[in-house]
Amino acid sequence: MRPDSAREALARALDSLGTGACLVDEQGLITAVNARGEQYLRRPAAHLVGQDAHDLLHRTARGEPVPRERCRMRQSVLGGGPQQGDEEWFERGDGVLVPVRWLATPCETIGGEQATLVLFHPAESPERPAQRPPASGWLSEFERLALLAETTTVLTSTLDIHEALRRLISLVVPRIADWSVIDLIDERGDVERFAVAHHENGTLVFRDDLQGPMPPVPAESPMPLSRALRGVASSLAGPETYQGPPDSDIAVEQRRLFKATGMHSAVVVPLRSLHDVLGALTLGRADQPERFTAKETALLEDIARRASLALENARLYQRQRQVAETMQRHLLPKLPRSPGLAMTARYLPAPDASHVGGDWYDAFTLPDGATALAVGDVVGHDLEAAAGMAQLRNMLRAYAVSQQEPPSKIVEWLDQATQHIAEVSMATSIFARVHRRTDGRTELSWTNAGHPPPLLVTGDGEADYLTDGHGILLGVTPDRPRPDATAELPPGSTLVLYTDGLIESPTRSLDEGLAALRHHAAALAHRPLEAFADELLARARPKDNDDDVALLVVRHGPEA
């Protein structure tokens, strides 16, 4: 069939349909439209053919382009199979938004080419009449309430300060502004321009060249940002605000900001908690022609109040994490010098502050010359767990140094004492002694209270878990006798004591975690001790780990 004949046949086929119809090729471009489709869309075929159907027609109820990744019609075009929708809006040629129902299905044209047939018709009703797109930045009362509710929900669902602020920017750009600027005041009173962001091709773009440290806040300046950073009041601003002689270095930065972004109207709102001024939020319009109004300023102040509460909570949470982590690090000991043994240790805090504080290690020299080793994990998190860990470690040291008994007996006394002295409900631990026998060999004796087993790696790379000597965790049955176990430490061997953060993951079994640790430790057996510890931590710790890790590595041999 000749091309002209094929096009004529295609036009007749589309016109025979009782609704609007168009064909879209594999790139999403309109290749044909019927007469009823032209009528519905108030666009002639010549203005439709060759255009991207999604970009030209698909809109939200407010007249904004629908992001491509949310377009089910486009998904069908790209091979996603049949799709349909009845809560969609198309923009007619006269700028009016029409509610439509549509069906998109893959097909083969008369010429044998792959395409997508889109059928559509208006779905106007008293509840969904055709309408002019609302002005940019305009929000109905319902949308305002929805935005405030969404702000509260989104910002309180994370305790990461940077993530909370990025979420705040995503809520307001481009919904009510083209640009969002956030200035933060740290605990020392220094100001940093945390973010300058705008919406570009469906994504947020951050202007690194406009971000960074800011000058000090002037004490008496009447300029909008200076007032906001002192917590005085919100202000409307524009490029003209900063055209006169600058009264401070901050004013110079603001003039540069307005010039670089093209903002013609902005609102500057304090971020203020009950106790402090945390910073300032600036929202600006460059592409949207409407200037900000007093009514919109009131809305942004409400958003800023909610953001300030979330920001203060996040800061308090991070401060608590820092205190717990600092306390944990200071409580962890310096390792002793032991003849024939080389030791190194690592402590890695949890990504989540709520999991910091329970893991610990210890090593010290006993009166008979043996070396004591310990590792454990106190149930609980943060300051309570860190304090409990310190009590447990100190009591263990006291019993071990004052009583010349096997590890099992020391841990039995420790278990009984935790019921009456330490503020620890339950804990796991391994306590071990390393000593040189009369025949010159080095022996490890230990007892295990519900803890992951030690790993012994020979110099040749043979790795085995020491599973003997295993008993119940501390705090469950304190009167129950505990077992002891012994093993020889061959020259060049490496003993690995660790906490469960090194092997546990929500996406794999404990056996898989243990197997991975053994595999990596065996592969690293020839590495120097410090490199062994660093690499083992980097390789074995699960990427989705949400707990802290304590690691104690002891090598018997030439490195000592």
Question: How many CB atoms neighbour CB 121 within 10 A?
Answer: 17
Q: Which one-letter amino acid corresponds to residue 294? A: A
For 8, residues 6+ apart whose C-beta sits below 8 A from its C-beta are none
More confident residue, 520 or 16: 520
Two tokens at 320?
A: 């608590």
Q: Which CATH architecture has domain 3-122?
A: 2-Layer Sandwich (3.30)
| Alpha helical stretches, state H, 215-367 | 224-229, 249-261, 294-331
As a whole number of angstroms, the distance between CA 544 and CA 523 comes to 23
As a whole number of angstroms, the distance between CA 68 and CA 204 comes to 15
- Determine if the pTM surpasses 0.95: no
| Planar angle of CA 217, 258, 224, nearest 5 degrees | 35
Q: For the chain, give every domain's residue range.
A: 3-122, 141-320, 332-556
Secondary structure of 431-465 as H, E, C letters: EEEEEECCCCCEEEEEEEECCCCCEEECCCCCEEE
Counting every residue written for the chain, the total comes to 560
Class at the top of the CATH hierarchy for domain 332-556: alpha beta
pLDDT of residue 560: 52
| pLDDT tens readout for residues 342-391 | 999 998 876 654 445 578 899 999 999 999 999 998 876 555 666 677 78
The conformation of residue 557, written as its DSSP 8-state character, comes to S
**How far from 489 is each of 54, 267, 268, 361, 403, CA to CA, in Å?**
70, 70, 67, 20, 24
pLDDT of residue 135: 46
Question: In which band, very low, low, confident or very high, does the pLDDT at 424 lie, cut at 50, 70 and 90?
Answer: low
Q: Tell me the average pLDDT across 522-533.
A: 95
As a whole number of angstroms, the distance between CA 88 and CA 97 comes to 10
pLDDT of residue 331: 60
In sequence order, what are the beta bridge partners of 88?
Answer: 100
| pLDDT tens readout for residues 474-495 | 888 888 899 999 999 999 999 9
In sequence order, what are the beta bridge partners of 347?
Answer: 550
Secondary structure of 290-320 as H, E, C letters: CCCCHHHHHHHHHHHHHHHHHHHHHHHHHHH
Query: Is it true that the peptide bond before 174 is cis, omega within 30 degrees of 0?
Result: yes
Q: In 3D, which of 214, 289, 279 has the Cα closest to residue 250?
A: 214
Residues 437/417, Cβ–Cβ less than 8 Å: no
As a whole number of angstroms, the distance between CA 301 and CA 267 comes to 10
3-state secondary structure (DSSP) of residue 472 = coil
428 phi/psi in degrees, rounded to 5: -110, 155
As a whole number of angstroms, the distance between CA 107 and CA 272 comes to 58
- The dihedral formed by the CA atoms of 392, 397, 400 and 403, expressed in degrees to the nearest 10: -100
Residue 218 pLDDT > 80: yes
Q: Tell me the average pLDDT across 76-80.
A: 72
Q: Give the rounded distance of the alpha carbon of 360 from its chain centre.
A: 27
Helix axes of 294-331 and 161-172: crossing angle, nearest 10 degrees: 160
Residue 1 pLDDT > 50: no
pLDDT of residue 327: 58
As a whole number of angstroms, the distance between CA 458 and CA 214 comes to 56
3-state secondary structure (DSSP) of residue 94 = coil
Q: Which one-letter amino acid corresponds to residue 270? A: P
More confident residue, 273 or 249: 249
**How far from 275 is each of 229, 272, 309, 473, CA to CA, in Å?**
14, 8, 11, 44
Two tokens at 526?
A: 């020839």
As a whole number of angstroms, the distance between CA 34 and CA 11 comes to 7
For 34, residues 6+ apart whose C-beta sits below 8 A from its C-beta are 11, 14, 15, 17, 20, 21, 22
Residue 341 pLDDT > 80: yes
Two tokens at 351?
A: 């990504």
Question: In which band, very low, low, confident or very high, does the pLDDT at 444 lie, cut at 50, 70 and 90?
Answer: very high
297 phi/psi in degrees, rounded to 5: -60, -40
Q: In 3D, which of 390, 389, 410 has the Cα closest to residue 471?
A: 410
The conformation of residue 353, written as its DSSP 8-state character, comes to G
Question: In which band, very low, low, confident or very high, does the pLDDT at 462 lie, cut at 50, 70 and 90?
Answer: very high
Task: Please provide the average confidence, as pLDDT, over all residues in the chain.
Answer: 84
Q: Which one-letter amino acid corresponds to residue 301? A: E
Q: Which helix (H) or strand (E) holds 326?
A: helix 294-331
Residue with token string 């109004």? 293
Question: In which band, very low, low, confident or very high, does the pLDDT at 321 lie, cut at 50, 70 and 90?
Answer: low
pLDDT of residue 534: 94
Class at the top of the CATH hierarchy for domain 141-320: alpha beta
For 337, residues 6+ apart whose C-beta sits below 8 A from its C-beta are none
Residues 148/306, Cβ–Cβ less than 8 Å: yes
**Most confident of the following: 80-89, 340-349, 402-411:** 402-411
Fold agreement between 141-320 and 332-556:
no
3-state secondary structure (DSSP) of residue 478 = coil
| pLDDT tens readout for residues 101-144 | 888 888 776 566 778 888 888 876 555 555 544 444 556 665 66
